[in-house]
Amino acid sequence: MSDSNRRKRFVKRNGEKGSIEELKRGILDNDRGQLAKAITLIESNKGQHYENGQKLLQELLPFTGNSLRIGITGVPGAGKSTFIESFGEHLCNLGYRVAVLAIDPSSTVSGGSILGDKTRMEKLARNPNAFVRPSPTAGTLGGVHRKTKETMLLCEAAGYDIVIIETVGVGQSEVVVREMVDFFLLLVITGAGDELQGMKKGIIELADALVVNKADGENQALAKKTRRELNQILHFLQPATKGWSTRAYTCSALENIGIDKLWDTIQRFEADTKKSGVFSERRMQQTQEWFYSMLKDRVLNEFFQNSAIKKELPRWEESILNEEYTSTKAVESLMKIYNDQ
Ligand SMILES: Nc1nc2c(ncn2[C@@H]2O[C@H](COP(=O)(O)OP(=O)(O)O)[C@@H](O)[C@H]2O)c(=O)[nH]1
Ligand SMILES: [Mg+2]
């Protein structure tokens, strides 16, 4: 073996291992550069990077779980990014370390982004106590969610006290974010008689707080009216969290009004649910659901990527469409083909 090959092998064997150690140490030391590098590994779909990312995560697992996880959703333009900048600054001023992650499902589906430039939250990103990471843009929605969850864990290992996940309330992603966070906040805007009607009851029922943003200038009275209407609606809905009553609030992210009061509410939520045990119950349930959903994804993927199944599936599909066979019979036959290999 030539020297250079030997060196390559050495680096492959020890260098990679060394770099996982280095990343681990860097993250535990709150080195933002190392944290960013580790997130890139987690986000990579390349075999070796993916594997190293997973090894690192396993090593860091004992250091995760200690943050307060907050999800924020709302239609594009509701002011989520502006809100997170104000809210994040407020938290940093109180001495907390804050990580912000964004999920933008549009970038996955269409290649374009509806979170837009503000996703970068430049002002907050410059704060030494904040870490802002935009959405991973490659892969399936399921993949993006795995990456976000794992990125959240890395941020926790790096000692961030509060992790905020921003997502656009236009589809399935808010449901998945709800399953990752302790507190879920829905940002809404006024002038929306129609919007109130159209707003999916389902999304409201996921929220621990509804916040009417842009309650400033001439919009204040209308914002208060919207808050009252929302509170009436909330009266008839199931709360998202056992023992907690979801209420509507107003704020101005732009003028920094009502942000402090909202943080008080979130702290009250944390104290109450920790006392009642609902907080840790939810965390456990989330971990369990996460495990099963990953397992299901994996099993489904193996089944549909199986070469014999790929070959046989169209024929069986046709046979049920032709009413030659029942679906039950077709399913059984496909399972037999899969199991017999
Ligand atoms: N008047 C007012 N405008 C706001 C407020 N919050 C956000 N905006 C504006 O609303 C627009 C959309 O805000 P952005 O944070 O990008 O919304 P996102 O799409 O939900 O992230 C921007 O032009 C903001 O300046 C607010 O509290 N008051
Ligand atoms: Mg935004």
Task: Summarize pLDDT for 19-76 with one digit per residue, the tens.
Answer: 899 999 999 999 999 999 999 998 887 778 888 999 999 999 999 999 999 999 988 8
Rounded to an integer, the average pLDDT of 197-211 is 82
Please list, residue by residue across 122-146, b when 16 or more beta carbons sit within 10 angstroms of its beta carbon and e when fewer do.
Answer: eebeebebbbbbbbbeeeeeeebbb
pLDDT at 219 over 90: yes
Query: What local confidence, expressed as pLDDT, does residue 191 receive?
Result: 67
In this model, does residue 184 exceed pLDDT 90?
A: yes
CB 103 within 8 A of CB 135: yes
Task: Determine the pLDDT at residue 136.
Answer: 64
Tens of pLDDT, residue by residue over 34-48, are 999 999 998 887 778
What integer pLDDT is reported at residue 293 of this predicted model?
Answer: 86
- Top-confidence residue, 161 or 109: 161
Q: Work out the average pLDDT over 252-269.
A: 97
Q: What is the 3-state secondary structure (H, E, C) of 180-239?
A: CCCEEEEEECCCCHHHHHHCCHHHHCCCCEEEECCCCHHHHHHHHHHHHHHHHHHHCCCC
Ligand 1 and 74: CB distance under 6 A: yes
In this predicted structure, which of 134-138, 199-203, 263-267 has the lowest mean pLDDT? 134-138
Q: What pLDDT, on the 0 to 100 scale, is given for residue 168?
A: 78
Mean pLDDT for 166-176 is: 78
CB 216 near ligand 1, within 6 Å = yes
Looking at residues 219-244, what average pLDDT do you find? Answer: 93
Residue 279 has pLDDT above 90, yes or no: yes
**Mean per-residue pLDDT, 221-236:** 92
**CB of 333 closer than 6 A to ligand 1?**
no
Q: What 8-state DSSP symbol labels residue 257?
A: B
With the most atoms of ligand 1 within 8 angstroms of its CB, the residue from 186, 254, 255 to mutate is 254
Can you give the pLDDT at residue 201? 72
Which pair of structure tokens corresponds to residue 134? 């935009």
* pLDDT value at residue 118: 47
Among 82, 115, 121, 214, the mutation site with the greatest number of ligand 1 atoms within 8 A of its Cβ is 82
Share of the chain above pLDDT 90, in %: 67
Q: Where in the chain is the domain with CATH 3.40.50.300?
A: 64-276
pLDDT for position 46: 79
Q: What percent of the chain has pLDDT over 70?
A: 84
- Answer yes or no: is pLDDT of 186 > 80: yes
Instruction: Tell me, in angstroms, the distance from the centre of ligand 2 to residue 119's CA.
Output: 5
Over range 100-126, report the average pLDDT: 65
Q: For residue 76, which ligand has an atom nearest its CA? A: 1
Closest CA to 129 of 32, 209, 218, 63: 32
Say if ligand 1 is within 6 A of residue 24 CB.
no
Ligand closest to 169 (CA) is 1
Among all bound ligands, the one having the nearest atom to the CA of 85 is 1
pLDDT of residue 140: 64
Identify the pLDDT of residue 4: 60
pLDDT at site 65:
96
Across 247-253, average pLDDT: 97
Nearest bound ligand to the CA of residue 83: 1
Residue 117 in this model has a pLDDT that exceeds 50: no
Q: Determine the pLDDT at residue 174.
A: 84
Q: Which of 64, 73, 68, 87 is nearest to 271 (CA)?
A: 68
Q: In the CATH scheme, what is the code of domain 64-276?
A: 3.40.50.300
- Judged against a pLDDT cut of 60, whether residue 15 lies above it is answered with no
Give the Cα separation of 53 and 43 in Å (integer). Answer: 8
CATH number for the segment(s) 1-63: 1.20.5.170
Measuring from atom 6 of ligand 1, which residue has the nearest CA? 79
Residues surrounding ion ligand 2 at CB below 5 Å:
80-81, 115, 118
Q: Is 258 in the pocket of ligand 1 (CB under 6 A)?
A: no
pLDDT of residue 14: 46
Closest protein CA for atom 8 of ligand 1: 79
Measured from the Cα of 253, ligand 1's closest atom is: 27
Least confident of 123-127, 201-205, 275-279, 289-293: 201-205
